[in-house]
């Protein structure tokens, strides 16, 4: 039987949690998943992730599961509008990954450097590409993966809700068979765990709720260096 779950955790080293995660059954069928990671270094990251995800969810509930693009545009407008209401929120922003699963079809939209992964036939595969300065530099051959991991600009996103000219998501699609899974997560999860760790945890848990809890526990056991956000659907 399919299952879904969402969970966030402050981690072990941060003072407060700027990650948001949702897993909601849509009226008329379909599961909505979303994670958002408030961009660090600017005040209001927690406001951007919370307000952005709430607005996206509200719009999807209002407009239906096909309206991911419109829902994200509305969420971006909302964050941009909030930026103008307080000087300290002027550059607040958030990553966002949203997904709607209807029957065995998943549609995913991404902005920023949170990620979607697929477990397909027991193998883990990264579905989304990071919208980040270092990912672009790696793609163009200017940095190696290792240099990117340590680069001072490693947290600079090129897309996100509230990022200037960065509000248009990239869409991805996947087909899920029974036993497959779709995982949305913030970097506080995937920077603490290897792909093989994630794969083994997803395969070892009997439902989405247990798998999400086990992923968060493992990220904390590996150091919990950042907030952790997870939204998971298991077909
Ligand atoms: Ca983070």
**CA–centroid distance, residue 204 to ligand 1 (Å):** 25
Helix residue ranges per DSSP H, the chain: 45-63, 68-83, 133-139, 145-150, 187-190, 195-204, 208-221
Separation of 45 CA from ligand 1 center, angstroms?
10
Report the 10 Å Cβ neighbour count for 138: 19
Q: How far is the CA of 171 from the centre of ligand 1 (A)?
A: 21
Residue 81: strand, helix, or coil: helix
pLDDT digits (tens, 9 = 90+) for 113-123: 999 999 999 99
How many other β-carbons are positioned within 10 Å of the β-carbon of residue 207?
14
Measured in Å, residue 143 CA sits from the centre of ligand 1 at 21
Are residues 36 and 95 in contact, defined by beta-carbon separation less than 8 angstroms?
yes
CA of 90 to the centre of ligand 1 (A): 20
Q: How far is the CA of 36 from the centre of ligand 1 (A)?
A: 9
Burial class (CB in 10 A: 0-12, 13-18, 19+), 156: middle
Distance of alpha carbon 213 from its chain centroid, rounded?
A: 16
| Residues 24-52, mean pLDDT to the nearest whole number | 92
pLDDT per residue as tens digits for the range 146-201: 999 899 999 899 999 999 999 999 999 999 999 999 999 999 999 999 999 999 99
pTM over the 0.85 mark: yes
> What are 186-226's pLDDT values in tens digits?
999 999 999 999 999 999 999 999 999 999 999 999 999 99
User: CB count, 10 Å around CB of 21?
Assistant: 27
Rounded Cα gap, residues 11 and 226, in angstroms: 6
């Amino acid at each position: 039987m399919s299952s879904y779950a969402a969970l966030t955790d402050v981690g072990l080293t941060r003072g407060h949690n700027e990650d948001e995660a949702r897993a909601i059954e849509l009226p008329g069928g379909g599961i909505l998943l979303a994670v958002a990671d408030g961009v660090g270094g600017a005040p209001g990251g927690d406001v951007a992730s919370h307000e952005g995800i709430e607005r996206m969810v509200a719009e999807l509930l209002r407009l239906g599961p096909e309206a991911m693009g419109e829902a994200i545009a509305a969420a971006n407008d909302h964050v941009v509008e909030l930026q103008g209401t307080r000087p300290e929120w002027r550059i607040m922003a958030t990553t966002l990954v949203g997904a709607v699963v209807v029957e065995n079809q998943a549609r995913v939209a991404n902005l920023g450097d949170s990620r979607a992964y697929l477990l397909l036939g027991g193998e883990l595969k990264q579905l989304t590409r990071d919208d980040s300065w270092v990912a672009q530099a790696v793609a163009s051959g200017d940095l190696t993966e290792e240099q990117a991991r340590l680069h001072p600009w490693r947290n600079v996103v090129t897309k996100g809700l509230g990022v200037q000219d960065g509000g248009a998501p990239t869409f991805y699609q996947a087909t899920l068979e029974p036993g497959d899974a779709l995982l949305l997560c913030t970097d506080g999860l995937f920077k603490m765990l290897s792909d093989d760790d994630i794969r083994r945890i997803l395969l070892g848990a009997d439902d989405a709720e247990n798998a999400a809890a086990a992923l968060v526990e493992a990220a904390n056991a590996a150091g919990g260096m950042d907030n952790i956000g997870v939204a998971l659907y298991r077909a």
